[in-house]
């Protein structure tokens, strides 16, 4: 799976009046590919997977695979805090033709490290598709520790990588040190994407790419090519925009930005997420203006 690298967008799921805007999603996919995005993740955290029902979840993945049509890898978000549900979503993603799946550490129920291993063991034994682990303890509570990641990488045949969203370069370094050389380590947040590549990672699964796919793609390409000067320059050019994507609970800022850019008809989010407040909107518009998005 050497195609999985660079700037991979955790794409938003556009809604109109509470329903998935299917044409809006198709249009976003074209915008992403035209901007040079290296891969697309439907139904990740930024895609509001937690508030999509099963039929919507499966449809968004199916639609994304169809619209992408093999031009870049599609890594479908199929995680759940129930192992059986994660297996069902993973089976559906495989049937839809996804290239790989992204499977978040089970949230809320706080499994042990052994429980995490067995969760991924059960998924990989049930469904034959490349799987990328997703460690984001800020949302799941449980931190999947580097030795557990390495155990999955070495013992489970389909575990090919991890989206590491601790924001800790120390933990990312430990994962890279302990895992096989071909194990794909992706940054789980935009702030650490450039340094993650410089210490051996392969890219980022990005929120900022939703609104600035070209800039994020160029930054990752520069970092992967060892062009530190250009990667550093682009990192700081995009730095305030990266922050603005989280100036209010995500994905409201990304969706509002896309609405302001005319890329989607509505920045609507689903409860319990809410539209941005006025102060956050000022921050977002300022950051967008700095990089010429408004």
How far apart, in whole angstroms, are the C-alpha atoms of residue 87 and residue 124?
9
Q: Do the strands 203-206 and 19-20 form a parallel or antiparallel pair, or are they unpaired?
A: unpaired
Nearest Cα neighbor of 193 from 130, 38, 158, 185 is: 185
Coil, strand or helix at 249: coil
Residue 169 burial (C-beta neighbours within 10 Å; 0-12, 13-18, 19+): middle
Nearest Cα neighbor of 188 from 206, 175, 173, 172 is: 206
How far apart, in whole angstroms, are the C-alpha atoms of residue 216 and residue 179?
26
Q: Using only C-alpha atoms, what is the Rg of the chain?
A: 18
Work out whether the CA dihedral 130, 246, 172, 236 comes out positive or negative: positive
How far apart, in whole angstroms, are the C-alpha atoms of residue 3 and residue 40?
12
Please give the positions annotated as active site: 134, 163
CA angle 201, 203, 208 (to 5 degrees): 140
Sequence-distant (≥ 6) Cβ neighbours of residue 17 within 8 angstroms: 268
Contact assessment for residue 100 and residue 133, using Cβ atoms and an 8 Å cutoff = no
């Amino acid at each position: 799976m050497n195609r999985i690298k660079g700037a991979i967008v955790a794409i938003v799921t556009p809604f109109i009046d509470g329903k998935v805007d299917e044409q809006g999603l198709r249009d976003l996919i074209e915008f992403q590919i035209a901007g040079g995005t290296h891969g697309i993740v439907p139904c990740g955290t930024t895609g509001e997977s937690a508030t999509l029902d099963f039929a919507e979840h499966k449809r968004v993945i199916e639609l994304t695979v169809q619209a992408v049509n093999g031009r870049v890898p599609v890594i479908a978000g199929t995680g759940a805090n129930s192992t059986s549900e994660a297996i069902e979503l993973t089976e559906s993603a495989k049937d839809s033709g996804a290239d790989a799946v992204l499977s978040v550490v089970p949230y809320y129920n706080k499994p042990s490290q052994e429980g995490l291993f067995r969760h991924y063991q059960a998924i990989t034994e049930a469904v034959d598709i490349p799987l990328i682990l997703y460690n984001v303890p800020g949302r799941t509570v449980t931190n999947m520790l580097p030795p557990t990641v390495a155990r999955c990488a070495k013992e489970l045949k389909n575990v090919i990588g991890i989206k590491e969203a601790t924001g800790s370069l120390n933990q990312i370094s430990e994962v890279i040190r302990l895992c096989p050389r071909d194990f794909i380590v992706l940054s789980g947040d935009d702030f650490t994407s450039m340094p993650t590549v410089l210490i051996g990672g392969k890219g980022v699964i990005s929120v900022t790419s939703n609104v600035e796919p070209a800039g994020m793609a160029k930054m990752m390409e520069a970092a992967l090519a060892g062009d530190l000067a250009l990667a550093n320059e682009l990192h700081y050019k995009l730095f305030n925009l990266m922050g603005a994507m989280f100036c209010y609970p995500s994905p409201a800022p990304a969706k509002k930005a896309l609405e302001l850019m005319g890329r989607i008809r509505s920045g609507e989010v689903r409860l319990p997420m809410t539209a941005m407040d006025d102060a956050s909107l000022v921050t977002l518009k300022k950051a967008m203006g700095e990089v010429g998005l408004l």
